[in-house]
Amino acid sequence: MEYVFTLKYRLAPEDADLDAIVERLGEAGCDDATIGIGQPGRIALVFTREGPSAFGALISGLEDVKRAVPTASLVEAGPDFVGLTDVADVAGVSRQNMRKLMLSHPTDFPAPVHEGSASVWHLSDLLDWLVTRGGYDIAPDVFDVAKSAKQINLVKAARQIEPRVNRQIERLVA
């Protein structure tokens, strides 16, 4: 099956030759990705990759990039972090419809990862919620990629937790 996903990286200072990086990425198997090099010190790859599963496709993309640019640091795998407009696009509804659903289901609508003037959710949480409600045509491959991207981002974030802090707060955040 074919999966579409994005991998965003921060480049090391010694990786300043973007033409060389693009060439190395192609040689490493990332020829199925559109490479964005607009922001200084960053690179983003939008893959359309065949794989046995969404997770397998994401992992192979991560491996290929690591092989080509070993000093690059993963910033985010996506699609994962989204606003209401993003999820509305995936679900085929309007942003206003998503906002209405959020406001009319305050107790069971998924909690955002960040709440503020621009709230952010994990896409897979919102898609899962929509699927359980029924009536939404969510492509299984999109849902699988979103779940896999979330897991990769959670593992990446968890690596930053100090073991002492983890033990202290683990029982409090259930």
Measured from the Cβ of residue 76, the count of other Cβ atoms closer than 10 Å reads 16
- Domain of 100 in residue numbering reads as 83-124
How far is C-alpha 32 from the geometric centre of its chain's CA atoms?
18
- Looking at the fold, whether 87 and 70 belong to one and the same domain comes out as no
CA nearest neighbour of 84 among 97, 98, 68, 100:
98
CATH number for the domain spanning 33: value is 3.30.70.1130
In a domain, 132, yes or no: no
What mean pLDDT is reported for the chain?
A: 93
- Looking at the fold, whether 12 and 65 belong to one and the same domain comes out as yes
pLDDT digits (tens, 9 = 90+) for 67-80: 999 999 999 999 99
Collapsing DSSP states into helix, strand and coil, what is residue 161? coil
Q: Report whether 120 contacts 112 (CB < 8 A).
A: yes
| pLDDT at residue 167, rounded to an integer | 67
Q: Report the first-to-last Cα separation within the chain, whole angstroms.
A: 36
Residue 109 has pLDDT above 80, yes or no: yes
Residue 165 has pLDDT above 70, yes or no: no
- Looking at the fold, whether 112 and 153 belong to one and the same domain comes out as no
Q: How many structural domains are present in the chain?
A: 2
Cis peptide before 13 (omega within 30 of 0): no
pLDDT digits (tens, 9 = 90+) for 152-164: 999 999 888 776 6
Q: Report whether 28 contacts 67 (CB < 8 A).
A: yes
- Looking at the fold, whether 103 and 154 belong to one and the same domain comes out as no
In a domain, 163, yes or no: no
